[in-house]
Structure 1
Amino acid sequence: MTGTRHVLGLSGGRDSAALAIFMRQRHPEIDVEYFFTDTGKELPEVYSYLTRLEGYLGKSISRLNPDRDFDYWLKSYKSYLPSPQSRWCTRQLKLRPFELWVRQFIEAGETVISYVAIRSDEEYREGYQSNKDRLLVRLPFKDSGIDKAGVIEILEGSGLGLPDYYDWRTRSGCTFCFFQQKIEWVRLRERHPEAFEEAKRYEKNAIEHGSPFTWSQGESLSELEKPERQEQIREEHQRRLERARSRLQANPLRPDASIDLDDVYGGAAKACLTCHK
């Protein structure tokens, strides 16, 4: 077999969903295959959003379930939690399943074009770097000058809107993403206490096995969930939020700009591209 296959990875987040809609609206002649690599530790809001997106696209989203789950890889890494210094969860649970999936097409003689949702206002981010001649990466948002405001406009215009979890977090849909801000951990405990408790168990086990990392930098989740500590986190978040609002109000070019946690904490550049988009 020879030919070209077009694929687009969805994280359950804002940007990749908007790109899927964009491709359907602007390039209906391209038969895009949509996929989602499921870590098994996603928020329930992610699955419901993907179902809604399937309804809009009129086609199914392939689920690429890793052949080995989070617990397998955690044991392989000696119970050390994934961290910004060792992003093994992204490597093993997101990139590896994708690479295995596209390998079959490349070995069959096809060229695979992968569409990645990097926006025009994300100059500091790089897409998935392929070392295969027949795996090509395309960045439609950068090519078309679509920024964050444009992404939100696409989602609102389609009627799909933002994923529900954007009400309280902007990191990936994975329950215990280590790139979460502390206020997001507090909110996870409020919204999904069972997921917070699971994260605590993983953290306790990691510490017992000598891991130098906790989910949240500088403190364990047991420390973070103390009432007085939660109150400190909420107060600090409110101060940061007010400062972010004042900065946006001072910019006449963005009078109606929305504020999310990336605006408040400036951490978007650090996040894992595959999960966060």
Structure 2
Amino acid sequence: MTKPTRHILGLSGGKDSTALAVLLHREVPQMEYFFCDTHRELDETYEYLERIKARLGITIHYLSAERGFDHWLDVYGGVLPSPQMRWCTKQLKIKPLEDFIGEDNTISYIGIRADEHRDGYISTKPNIKPVYPFKERGLVKADILRLLEESGIGLPKYYAWRSRSGCYFCFFQRKYEWVMLYEHHPDLFAKAVEYEQRHKDGRTYTWTQGETLLELLARKEQIIADHQRAMARQQAKQDNLPLAEVLSTVLDQEDDTLPCLACHL
């Protein structure tokens, strides 16, 4: 007997994947929701996932790699993940997901909006078919925010200072976000510093290009002041937008590098 096609939706703890779950949880009752848990997430991310489960009445499968971040850091010779070497995505996100799916014919629902020009994670496995409901329906950022507001879920708390989901030490964080990590979670910032400094053979790797986190922190006041000026300029242009969206625009202007698309929807 042929097994039925599976339907899956990955939640990252960000606004787009959450809005997609809001849109589809009644349309696709057989949907399997999953979260690839690196065990290096912010507490706010786990809190947001609990809010999603409670509001939508869904179950979320938490997928974890057999070996964690520290193991793979050793395997890759102590080289921290970076935009050029995203081994964390491969080992902690993609592999657990593909193990979860196996060889089953699967439709993967991806929360890329109609106003974005990217595709998200596309598996090379022929049994996994990606679909893009937002693109198909012409839904843009304003629609996503409306879906979240009407559902009662809203935005995650970290959107007050960070515009992307992901690990607390994600190398795609902008400098202001690193400073805010220090302000909101000094213990996690200290752990990220330890990863930079902990190399038995004396090699130096940094999370941000060209400077260590401690060097970045020494410029904290200047980074905050520059950010506040940029926020004021943007708010003058977009005075009708929520503060979280103004923040996102300002941070994108600081660094428009596309983030890890398996993590940040």
Q: TM-score, normalised by structure 1?
A: 0.88
Tell me if the contact between 2:109 and 2:130 (Cα under 8 Å) persists in the aligned partners: yes
Corresponding position of 1:195:
188
Corresponding position of 1:122:
116
1:14 Cα deviation from its structure 2 partner: 1.0
Tell me which of 249, 262, 265 is aligned to 1:263.
Answer: 249
Corresponding position of 2:79:
80
Secondary structure class of the residue paired with 2:195:
helix
How far apart, in 1, do the equivalents of 2:93 and 2:125 lie? Answer: 18
Corresponding position of 2:161:
168
1:85 Cα deviation from its structure 2 partner: 1.1
Secondary structure class of the residue paired with 1:83:
coil
Corresponding position of 1:276:
264
Counterpart check, 1:151 vs 2:141: no
1:262 Cα deviation from its structure 2 partner: 3.4
Structure 1: gaps of 5 or more residues:
250-254
Counterpart check, 1:142 vs 2:135: yes
How far apart, in 1, do the equivalents of 2:139 and 2:48 lie? Answer: 22
1:131 Cα deviation from its structure 2 partner: 2.5
- Residue identity in the other structure for 2:262: T
Question: Structure 2 matches for 1:1-277, cutoff 5 A?
Answer: 1-25=2-26, 27=27, 29-103=28-102, 106=103, 110-123=104-117, 125-206=118-199, 209-211=202-204, 213-226=205-218, 229-248=219-238, 255-256=240-241, 259-266=245-252, 267=255, 269-277=257-265
- Residue identity in the other structure for 1:21: V
- Residue identity in the other structure for 2:105: T
1:11 Cα deviation from its structure 2 partner: 0.6
Tell me if the contact between 1:262 and 1:268 (Cα under 8 Å) persists in the aligned partners: no
Moved more, 157-166 or 264-273: 264-273
Tell me if the contact between 2:181 and 2:188 (Cα under 8 Å) persists in the aligned partners: yes
**Distance change in 2, residues 1:208/1:167 (3 Å):** farther
Moved over 6 A (4+): none
- Residue identity in the other structure for 2:250: V
**Distance change in 2, residues 1:207/1:168 (3 Å):** farther
Moved more, 1-10 or 234-243: 234-243
Tell me if the contact between 1:79 and 1:209 (Cα under 8 Å) persists in the aligned partners: no
How far apart, in 2, do the equivalents of 1:189 and 1:148 lie? Answer: 29
- Residue identity in the other structure for 1:7: I
Deviations 1:170-200 (A, max 9, x none): 1223110111111111111111111000000
What is the CA RMSD across the aligned residues, in angstroms? 1.8
1:17 Cα deviation from its structure 2 partner: 0.8
1:260 Cα deviation from its structure 2 partner: 4.1
How far apart, in 2, do the equivalents of 1:127 and 1:58 lie? Answer: 26
**Distance change in 2, residues 1:236/1:77 (3 Å):** same
Structure 2: gaps of 5 or more residues:
none
1:274 Cα deviation from its structure 2 partner: 1.3
Q: TM-score, normalised by structure 2?
A: 0.92
How far apart, in 2, do the equivalents of 1:173 and 1:128 lie? Answer: 15
Tell me if the contact between 2:235 and 2:246 (Cα under 8 Å) persists in the aligned partners: no
How far apart, in 2, do the equivalents of 1:67 and 1:260 lie? Answer: 39
